[in-house]
């Protein structure tokens, strides 16, 4: 049973249609319906007693609690946020090291020093790591 169905089943003189109703307020002696009930898109129940009763007084009078006016929580969407895989400072350290390595390689090339196969492989790895950092940083 939905929250609004639960509430409506405990009220008297309920009139209305899907989404909006009126009823006698159970929190005071009501001669004509003074309680407005509305269901929001997410299933939350809104109450307004035009005689001045609070929502808490209304739900308590029918043996419910305020929490009963809300739909059950979808635990799938209410989990603790996960820790980032890398902190920004870690990503900056990686970038700094790889940039230094590339600067040394560029200096060697500028000074006509021949790079070994291992050097070119390491330069390639530096480029890949810089790409990974931009991916993790959502750049």
Please write the tens of the pLDDT for every residue from 121-130: 999 999 999 9
Q: Which domain holds residue 117?
A: 88-136
Please write the tens of the pLDDT for every residue from 50-73: 999 999 999 999 999 999 999 887
State whether 98 and 69 are in the same domain.
no
Cβ-count burial 44-59 (b if 16+ within 10 Å, e if not)? ebebebeeebebeebb
β-pairing verdict for 45-49 and 20-24: unpaired
State whether 65 and 10 are in the same domain.
yes
The answer to whether residue 93 is domain-embedded is yes
d(CA 3, CA 67): 9
**Whether this model's pTM surpasses 0.85:** no
Tokens linked to 25: 């307020």
d(CA 117, CA 121): 6
Give residue 77's pLDDT. Answer: 57
Mean pLDDT of 27-39: 90
Phi, psi of 90 (to 5 degrees): -65, -45
The answer to whether residue 81 is domain-embedded is no
State whether 53 and 10 are in the same domain.
yes
Mean pLDDT of 78-84: 62
CATH number of the domain at 27, please: 3.90.580.10
State whether 69 and 95 are in the same domain.
no
Is residue 102 scored above 70 in pLDDT? Answer: yes
Categorize the per-residue pLDDT at 17 as very low, low, confident or very high, splitting at 50, 70 and 90.
confident
State whether 102 and 69 are in the same domain.
no
The answer to whether residue 13 is domain-embedded is yes
Cβ-count burial 1-30 (b if 16+ within 10 Å, e if not)? eebbeebbeebeebeeeeeebbbbbbbeeb
């Amino acid at each position: 049973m939905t929250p609004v169905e639960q509430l409506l089943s405990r009220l008297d003189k309920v009139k209305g249609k899907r989404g909006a109703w009126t009823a006698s307020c159970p929190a005071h002696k009501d001669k004509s319906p003074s309680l407005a009930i509305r269901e929001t898109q997410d299933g939350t129940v809104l109450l307004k007693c035009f005689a001045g009763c609070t929502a808490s007084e209304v739900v308590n009078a029918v043996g419910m609690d305020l929490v009963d006016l809300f739909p059950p929580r979808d635990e799938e969407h209410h989990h603790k946020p996960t820790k980032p895989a890398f902190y920004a400072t870690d990503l900056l350290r990686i970038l700094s090291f790889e940039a230094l390595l590339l600067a040394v390689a560029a200096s060697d090339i500028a000074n006509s020093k021949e790079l070994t196969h291992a050097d070119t492989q390491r330069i390639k790895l530096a480029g890949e790591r810089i790409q990974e950092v931009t991916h993790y940083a959502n750049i």
